[in-house]
Structures are given as structure tokens and as C-alpha cells.
Amino acid sequence: MKSNLQDPKYLIIFGKPKIGKSTALAALPNNLIIDLESGYKYIDAMKVEAKSVSDLKEIAIAIKEAGCPYKYITIDTVTALEDIVKPLALKLYLETPAGSKFTGKDVLDAPMGAGYSKTREA
């Protein structure tokens, strides 16, 4: 059966370390790479580093103000993105009625998987 889509809206690339994933993404035309782990220092690419939620907000605002000029935007890596948003996700969860009694330090330990939705929200 033939696909109805030519280009995926979202794409996740995964694989073993040092096999060329980042290099391949850097070769995409008009691709802005949001580097969350300082992994592009030795790769020629259109890139910007982010280390916090605040950095990510600034980058998003700049992209919008520039008229969304990129064909692709790569977030490298999703694992680092989860780590960056966890403090905000915990704050959001603690502000809910269910979270008001939570004493854990990791939002992903919240009962019944509630922390995962807050992580996505963050």
C-alpha cells in the first residue's frame, strides 16, 4: 500500500552512538539543530545550543519572529529534552490537587503515570 504522505511531520531517529545520526541531520538543507548536549561542536551545521527551558523559549520566540524560516528543526536529543523539562513538569504537577501531597523529587515517580503528562506539557 502506498503512503499518503511524502514527508513525515515528525521523525525520530535512534541508533547506537557514533554511527552518523547527527552528521546526517546536519546535512539536511535549511535544518536548524537545537543542540541540547553540546554534541555538534565538531560538526558543520546550522545550530544553536540550549541548556534550559528558558533557552528553548528564547529560541522558539526567535524562530517565530523570523517567520519560521527553517524547513526542518532538529532537537538533539529527546532524552536531554526530558531532563531539561523535568523541573518544570514537577512544578506543574505540584500545583495540581493530586500533586499537592506528592513528596518525590522526580515527577515521573508520580502515581498512576501522572508525571508523564506534565512532562509532555512542560
Contact between 21 and 13 (Cβ < 8 Å): yes
pTM over 0.85: no
Residue among 113, 57, 45, 111 at smallest CA distance from 84: 57
Which pLDDT score is estimated for 17? 87
Whether the per-residue pLDDT at 5 is higher than 70: the answer is no
Task: Report the pLDDT averaged over residues 39-63.
Answer: 94
Structure letter (DSSP) for residue 116: H
Q: What's the pLDDT tens digit per position in 64-101? A: 999 999 999 999 988 899 999 999 999 999 999 999 99
Give the lowest-confidence range in 9-13, 49-53, 101-105.
Answer: 9-13
Instruction: State how far the Cα of 75 lies from the Cα of 22, in Å rounded to an integer.
Output: 10
